[in-house]
Chains A and B, each alone.
Chain A
Amino acid sequence: MKAHRKKKLSIILFIAVGLSIAIGLSLFALSNNIDLFYTPTQVAAGEVTPGQRIRVGGMVKEGTVEHNQDELEVSFITTDYSHDVQVLYTGILPDLFREGQGIVAEGMLTSAGVFQASRVLAKHDENYMSAEVRSALESAGVDSDGMSSGAY
């Protein structure tokens, strides 16, 4: 019985140590890898520290999308109708990116106050079917809520 107890104890110890390492590691990784979401108003209010990795969401303001004709650089303004944020992005924009569409840009704010995006997500269709489409995509287990990624 004693040997049996000892073995059981060592297994429990092994599990406990393993678990606490895993939990510690998880929490550490989590604290380093969350992206906060901001609206253009919050960005304008100076709530964002430049250099911090964040997400900004808003609508693409009509007439502000400018493609550099020789390179893949794009600049546009995203807005929540009370404040604007200028976004710079290099790469190919997602299929659903259009002026007047809702987008989420991932990246960081430069000290000049321009948002340098590393990824632009677009979503939503012109009509409300897209809510249905989204749930279709979701139940199919896809890239979230029908977003198509511009780059990754």
Chain B
Amino acid sequence: MIPELGNFSLILAFALSILLGIFPMVGAARQNQLWMGLARPLTAGVFVFLSISLAILAYSFVTDDFSVQFVANHSNSMLPLRYKLTAVWGGHEGSFLFWTWMLGGWMLAVAIFSKSMPTEFVARVLSIMGLISVGYTLFMLATSNPFDRALPLSPADGADLNAALQDFAFIIHPPSLYMGYVGFSVVFAFAIAALISGRLDSAWARWCRPWANAAWAILTLGLSLGSWWAYYELGWGGWWAWDPVENPPLITWLLGAAMIHSLAATEKRGVFKSWTVLLAIMAFASSLLGTFITRSGLLTSVHAFASDPTRGVYILGFLGLIIGGSLLLYAIRAPILKSEFGFGGWSREVFLLANNLILVVASAAILLGTLYPMVYQAVTGGDLISVGPPYFNTIFLPLVGILVLLLGVGPVARWKKTSRAYLIKQLSKVAIAALVIGVALPVLLTLGVPLTTIIVTVLACWVIFSLLRDLQSKIANKPDVWSGLKSLPVSYWGMQLAHFGFVMTMAGGCLTSIYSVEKSVLLDPGESAELGRYTFVFEGIEPVQGPNFIADEASIEVLRDGVYFRHLYPQKQLYTASNTPATHMGIDGRFFRDLFVTLGDARNQGAWSMTLYIKPFVRWVWIGTIFIAAGGILAVTDKRYRRFKVRQVQRAAPVTNKDSQPVVEG
């Protein structure tokens, strides 16, 4: 009975979404205050019923209700409670409910934090998000209902959650990834509302920015956690595989990064308006595309046996309607979004444009590589291919290099017009310092001439020194350093923090790919193997028993330069319910390097194969992304967005802004 309530609640959310998709939108067109006023209550309703659905699904997991098919397929009575809860998003149907619930959460947040915006605008935004919610809930009800029952023949016990998903990172990775992903629908709704109303001024950009930043920052964390999870749980020594399933979120991330930069120019200078809107649509489109790819089995068709085309057809239809429709709307309405065109050759606008160009090209190249197998198969009539990581690295790395080079100049350049002499004055010392230190450091540390490392260090020094130089010149005319630092706006700190994080991720990623070493060995108990400064002594294997798995645990003594360092205990696990083997690495993670061992398999006479890894700087990749995300979040909290709000409430008048561009009504 309880799961039927969940289903019923889902149907109610669907019905309310339809109302939300129609009435406020029509109301905004007809200036009907009552209908526009429905937007917020309907949004709350959609969220409440989605929450009830989600809670009931979680309840079904906790109570081991294996009559629900989804529960039976993804849980087991022996599964620890925390994994029973996370199993809610451990499969297609449940994760989609979770995803839709996230959309509801974003809608509710917009409804609550939009007091400063005109009713008409809020009504449009919420209505558009309501339409998206119609699509998602209908998809669930029609093709993948998590509440489907396996009646009357319900199994006695469930099939268990996949072993690789029973991990801490998996508890938090999908929520943050989905939250960031879905957050782009807010920005999309803002963009469409702007196209419909024809109003796109710097006030609009100011409303939009916190949402764009928040969604992007959360997506950053989600991507980073996914990479960490793949590294840690799959234990294969890599942190990014250019896999067709990993790529779409990265494309969204890159387009989102382009968008928040372009949005900055739109807010400050009233330029790139229609470009910003197009980026908002493309970022959202790429997030839908990612959904399509992962849930239709399209790109994994090389290996998939039983993919479900109905789901794919549905998502494709939805994609066509939403994205095709909004791009058409864009084509028709974009001419009314008049941008100012007044900036000089070395202005910050130009650098932002270059940044956007690189980011968009990078995402297009990744999209090409991701979809190429599909296109190839369609054109050649069935030949299967795969595009390897070398393609992505060849394209992506040079682009990132140019991006980092520009990153040293862009923030220093001024809006509208920057003289070349000013830039040279600001940056000549920075360039010299970066070159000297960037070359000297690797040469002294490695006593050689490692070319790639030198390029990486020079670039990293270039950005960091330029950042410090900018800071110095910003506070030069303040009485003392502290008051100078305090006077800088929060959004400035956010920007610099994110830029610093980006450089750290870049440097970490490059350095780890250069300096990582690994070695596969076959060891008898008592034997040892050496890698770098470390000696690994295999002491033996002990059987251990987990809550829902059994494992062989190896005890490995690690010596550094011949002195005892620590023990590592990698495991080879077997999850009993699903009979799936899994590897659990024994890891020693430090700021400057990771050290870990993964177990292979047993050979005769107690010998085991295992792989030893040393991965210097690998943690920088993830630490850097934390800085990026923190920077994005910090920028959201800038007083500018709040002060503006208060002023509006005091005036209680439609928003107009001094530096806003004339509004063109279409």
Chain A interface (Cβ within 8 Å of chain B)?
Answer: 4, 7-8, 11, 15, 18-19, 22, 25-26, 29-30, 32-37, 53, 55, 57, 67, 69-72, 90-93, 95-96, 102, 104, 123, 125-129, 131-152
Contact = CB atoms under 8 A, between A and B. Distances in A.
Q: DSSP majority for the A interface?
A: mixed
B598 interface: yes
Interface stretch (B51-59, B242-250, B486-494, B552-560): B242-250
Contacts of A133: 162
B365 interface: yes
B80 interface: no
A-B pairs, top 3 by smallest CB distance, nearest first, are: A92-B600, A37-B384, A33-B391
B294 A138 contact: yes
B384 A30 contact: no
Q: DSSP majority for the B interface?
A: mixed
B241 interface: yes
Nearest to A38: B384
B95 A139 contact: yes
Contacts of B353: 11
A11 B352 CA distance: 12
Nearest to A30: B391
B565 interface: no
A32 to B, nearest CB: 7
B90 interface: yes
A107 to B, nearest CB: 12
A18 B361 contact: yes
Interface stretch (B188-196, B231-239, B457-465, B648-656): B231-239
Interface in B363-386: 364-365, 368-369, 372-373, 376, 383-386
Contact of B388 (A7, A34, A71, A126): A34
Nearest to A121: B303
Contacts of B165: 136-137, 140
Nearest to B579: A126
A67 to B, nearest CB: 6
Interface string B389-428: 0110011001100000000000000000000000000000
Given A129-B73, A142-B245, A25 B395 contact: yes
A57 B395 CA distance: 28
Given A92-B598, A141-B246, A144-B245, A26 B303 contact: no
Nearest to B291: A139
B385 A144 contact: no
A142 B387 contact: no
Contacts of A135: 91-92, 294-295, 297
Contacts of B601: 92-93
A151 B613 CA distance: 12
A35 B249 contact: no
Given A133-B162, A136-B162, A30 B522 contact: no
Contacts of B170: 140
5 contacts: A53-B388, A136-B92, A139-B96, A144-B300, A145-B304
Contact of A37 (B246, B300, B302, B520): B302
Nearest to B372: A30
Interface string B593-615: 00000101101100101110000
B390 A149 contact: no
B9 interface: no
Query: Which residue among A71, A72, A134, A139 has the maximum number of chain B CB atoms within 10 Å of its CB?
Result: A139
